[in-house]
A and B are shown apart, each in its own frame.
Chain A
Amino acid sequence: GQQLNQSPQSMFIQEGEDVSMNCTSSSIFNTWLWYKQDPGEGPVLLIALYKAGELTSNGRLTAQFGITRKDSFLNISASIPSDVGIYFCAGQPYNNNDMRFGAGTRLTVKP
């Protein structure tokens, strides 16, 4: 099935720094979603993107749906300790109703 390549796998940053992570696919996706997962919890939706080129913000988070429909990025500005967690990209292939996930980016924020 379609695979999502998410990078980086992990990040260690200082509080206040900006963060950027991205996802790419070998095939076209209709929808890109970004989730955050805290330990022992299910993923929580951060941002949903439905159109190529779409740029959407949610507080300090900004995500974009790539023009080619094969990639997306998530930026976090001015990171804070509670941003710690695992961030997953997810995409819905154009010919499928399910969702595929990236491997996740584990973010650590040092105070």
Chain B
Amino acid sequence: GAVVSQHPSRVICKSGTSVKIECRSLDFQATTMFWYRQFPKQSLMLMATSNEGSKATYEQGVEKDKFLINHASLTLSTLTVTSAHPEDSSFYICSAVEGAYGYTFGSGTRLTVV
């Protein structure tokens, strides 16, 4: 089946620093990947749609300069949380679409900003 690898699984960073999260499709090519944010005991909120070779599409209310998305290849999308603050602490999840298997999710990244 389709496998999406997300790294790191956990990261703790200091306020003001930037953090990069990687999302890789391991056995298929993904022209489109999605980034979600999940608060405790809540559902997944779509942040942005990552398109290979072009700019990401951000959902309303998501700061594109705060959450930088790069989809430079068909198997890798990255989300960089810039100048992180404690309110950016959350669970971030990516997903990718593969025709036969539909949407497959990464295992998520727990970001804690101290």
A residues at B contact (CB < 8 Å)? 1, 31, 33, 35, 40-45, 48, 88, 90, 97-104, 106
Other-chain contact of B42, A40, A90, A103 (Cβ < 8 Å): A103
Nearest chain-A residue to B38 (Cβ)? A37
Say yes or no: A88 contacts B103, CB within 8 Å.
no
Task: Please indicate the chain A residues that have their CB under 8 angstroms from the CB of B59 in the complex.
Answer: 1
Please give, as numbers and ranges, the residues of chain B lying within 8 Å of A88 by CB-CB distance: 43-44
Q: How many residues of B contact A (CB 8 A)?
A: 23
Which chain B residues lie closer than 8 Å to A90 at the CB level? Answer: 103
A31 to B93, CA, bound (A): 20
Q: Which residue of B lies closest to A41 (CB)?
A: B107
Q: 14 A-B Cβ contacts within 8 A?
A: A33-B102, A41-B108, A42-B106, A43-B44, A45-B101, A45-B102, A48-B102, A88-B44, A97-B49, A97-B97, A101-B43, A103-B43, A104-B42, A104-B43
Q: Could you list which residues of chain B lie within 8 angstroms of chain A, going by C-beta atoms?
A: 6, 32, 34, 41-44, 46, 49, 59, 91, 93, 95, 97, 101-108, 110
- Top 6 nearest A-B pairs by Cβ distance? A42-B105, A42-B108, A42-B107, A103-B43, A101-B43, A101-B44
Q: How far is the CB of B3 from chain A (nearest CB, A)?
A: 11
Closest B-chain residue to A6, C-beta based? B43
Contact in complex: A45, B32 (CB < 8 Å): no
With A88-B43, A100-B46 known as contacts, the answer to whether A42 contacts B6 (CB < 8 A) is yes
What residues on A are CB-neighbors of B32 within 8 Å?
97
Contact (A31, B43) CB under 8 Å given A42-B93, A98-B49: no
Is B46 a contact of A102 with CB atoms below 8 Å? no
Bound Cα distance from A33 to B105, whole angstroms: 12
Name the residue of chain A whose CB is nearest to the CB of B103.
A99
Bound complex: CA of A33 vs CA of B34, how far in Å? 16
- Closest approach, in angstroms, between the C-beta of A21 and any C-beta of chain B? 13
Q: Which residues of A contact B41 (CB under 8 A)?
A: 106
